[in-house]
Amino acid sequence: MMRKVLIANRGEIAIRISHTLREMRIQTAAVFTEPDKDSLHTRAADEALLISSYLDSQEIMRTAKDCGADAIHPGYGFLSESPALSAACDEARIVFIGPRPDTIRTMGDKVQSKRLMQKAGVPVVPIWDGDPPAPEFPVLVKASGGGGGKGMRLVENPADLKHAMASASREAAAAFGDDRVFVEKYVRRPRHIEFQILGDSYGNAVHVFERECSIQRRHQKIIEETPSPAVTPELREQMGAAAVAGALAVGYRGAGTVEFLLDPSGRFYFLEMNTRLQVEHPVTEMTAGLDLVREQVRIASGEELAYDQADLRRTGHSIECRIYAEVPEDNFRPSTGVIEVFEPPAGPGIRLDSGVGRGSVVSYHFDPMLAKLIVWACSRAAAIDRMKRALDDFVLLGVSNNIEFLRRIISTEDFADGKIDTGFLDRHREVFTFPSEVPPEVLLIASLPPDRAAGYGRPLPHTFQDVWSSGSWRNS
C-alpha cells in the first residue's frame, strides 16, 4: 500500500480524493497555483505545494519527488488522461492511480478506440476518417484527440461538410494540440448512457451498472442519475457485457467509463471510453455501496478485484446536479466574484461534493463548476422530490448560479416521466425563463443592507441580481 499520494488536481475532486486517502491512512499532498492559494482543497490535505500550472506534467513529477510521494492521483480533467504523465510515473517508479499509458493513448484517440471496439464485437457508431466516402447525412464532425464539445460540428447538408471539417480542425488544434477530425453518423435524439467499469492487473473486469447522462448543455452533462429510466434489465445486461468486453479488449486497469449512445429504438453504440474517474461517479457510489476512489487505490496498489459481476448489487435511485457559477439565461455565461453566502442543504440521503465555501473567490481561471449536489432515495420519484427540496434549501449568493435552472429542469413533466435525451434543453426552452413578476420576497431581501438580514439569520449581498438569479429568495 502506498504511503503518500500527491493529488494533481484542485477543487471538489481534490477534496473528495483526500477524504478517502485519509480514511485509508495515506498521507496526502495537494498542489495549487497562485489563483488557488486560498482554495479549500489546499486545507484538505496534509500539505499544500505551490506549482505554476496544473497542466505541466514535468512540474507535477518534480513536485511529487520533492515531497516524497510514492503515488499520484490525477482526479479528472487536467492531466487525468495524459499518457505522458502515466509513462513518467512508470519511469520514476511512482504509482499512477489510473490506467497504463498505452491504454490512455489508445482510448484517447476517438478513431483508434472505435476500431478496437469494433474488433471486440462492441456496436460502434459508423465513422469515416481521412476523406469521407459520401457519409450518410446528417453527420457530426468530431475531434480525434479530445472531447467536451470542442471541435464538434453538426452537418446537415453535404455542401457544408468541407467547411465544417476545416473549422472543427482549427478548434481542435487550439484546444488539444491535435487538428485531426473525423466524421461520425449523427444519431437523432439519443440518450447518453455510460457504464462504470473496474479492471485489475490480473485480467479481471466488471461493470458497476449504468448512469443516465442525457441532460446536457453545450455537450456537457449537468444532471446525471442511476438507474437510467430507459434501460431494461435485458438491455442493461447487453450494454454491461459490451462495456466489460471493451475493458478486457484494452486490458483496462483501474476505474473508467464506457459511454454509449442509445437511440429511440433501443439500439446502442459505443461512443468513447474515459480512462479516469468521472465527475458523476457519486451516483454510482450512492447506489452500489462502493467507494470508487478506494477501489482505484487498491487496484493501483496491485490488489485483485475482491468481487465478480454476480456480487455487485444496486439499491434505490440517485441523482446528481452540477452547481455552476453561470447565467443559464445568458447562454451560460460564466459568473465570477466572491461567494458571500454558502448554505448547502442537509438531511437524509443528501451528499454535497464541494470545492468552495463562504468567502471563496470564483475566478475566470478555471471551470465554473462549484459543487455537485447528490441525493439518494428508494425510488426515482422519491429522489426527484428529494432533489427539489435540496435545491430549494441551497442558498448560494454572491455569484450567479444555475440552482434555480436545475430546479426548473427536474420539475418538468418530461423529466418526471423519464422522457429525456441529449436534445432535452433545446426542446424545453421554458426552463430558461424566469417568472415575469418579481415576488415581494425578492424586493424585501434585496433591500436589506449587506451586513445583516434582519429576521433571516444570515448576511446577504445588497444586489437585486444576486438575490433574484440565485432563486434563494424562495426559502429565505
Q: Which of 276, 298, 322, 407 does the annotation list as catalytic?
A: 276
Q: Calculate ∠ Cα 361-367-369, nearest 5°.
A: 75
Grid coordinates of 381: 420519484
Within 10 A of 128 (CB to CB), how many other CB atoms are there? 16
Q: How far is CA 435 from CA 324, 407, 468, in A?
A: 21, 13, 11
Q: CB–CB of 141/183 below 8 Å?
A: yes
Q: CB–CB of 116/106 below 8 Å?
A: yes
Burial class (CB in 10 A: 0-12, 13-18, 19+), 409: buried
Within 10 A of 362 (CB to CB), how many other CB atoms are there? 20
Q: Which one-letter amino acid corresponds to residue 246?
A: G
267 given a catalytic annotation: no
Residue 220, beta-bridge partner list: 217
Q: Strand 71-73 and strand 95-96: pairing?
A: parallel
Nearest to 288 by CA among 227, 355, 230: 227
Grid coordinates of 51: 506549482
- Using the structure block, give the residue that is written with the C-alpha cell 461493470: 207
**How far apart (Å, rounded) are the C-alpha atoms in residues 306 and 285?**
16
- Using the structure block, give the residue that is written with the C-alpha cell 479488449: 249
Grid coordinates of 386: 428529494
Burial class (CB in 10 A: 0-12, 13-18, 19+), 262: buried
Enumerate the active-site residues: 276
